Amino acid sequence: MCARGGRRHNRPVSAAENDPNGTPAAPTGPQPEPIRFFGTTWVDHSGGYTARRIGVAVGSLAAAAAACLVLRIAYDGLRIADVGSFVSLLMVVMFAICSSLAFRHTWSAFTTRPDPDRQASLRGLLAIGFVGSLLAYFFRTLTEAPGEKLHRAEYDKAREDHEKRTTRRSGNPSKKRRRS
């Protein structure tokens, strides 16, 4: 009991939580990689995972709708500036193609790790086609956290490899056959 108010300010800590030096014990084995907006809740679908998926789906769809509104205003600006039908058509085609390529690239990045060099070279195209990326994010959140399948496969493989490395072999080592 403390002199101030009769309450302790520290909770009791078990030996499993701290080593003799007083530092927290590090978890053993592979740790799950966090996913944007979901953290590590994708592992066991806890911590408001469903609410986060709904929020991310609504947010990405709202952002895509707002982006389409901005593109519509830009198109109206070109029409008011009277730049000609060719330039207006070129802008619409450019955004349609870039959005479809960005959708495809973002969708495939949820199942395989993208090549960093290719990712860097496509940065401009992905920026122009941001509506496609937002739509890919929306459609993926309807079934899972974006990238969850890829992260789960990698995490399960890492846990399996860790288990193989750390399990002790069974049997009596004295009965082991000697190589001749």
Query: CB-based burial of residue 84 (10 Å sphere; 0-12 exposed, 13-18 middle, 19+ buried)?
Result: exposed
Question: One-letter amino acid identity for 76?
Answer: D
Residue 126 is encoded by which pair of tokens?
Answer: 């992905």
Quick one: pLDDT at residue 112? 92
Which residues 6+ apart lie within 8 Å of 17 measured at CB?
A: 24, 25
Do residues 90 and 128 make contact, with C-beta atoms less than 8 angstroms apart? Answer: no
pLDDT in tens, 58-93: 999 999 999 999 999 999 999 899 988 999 999 999
Chain centroid to Cα 164, Å, comes to: 27
| Pairwise pLDDT comparison (15 vs 74), residue with the higher score | 74
pTM: 0.74
Quick one: pLDDT at residue 164? 86
pLDDT beyond 60 at 10: no
Percent of the chain with pLDDT over 70: 78
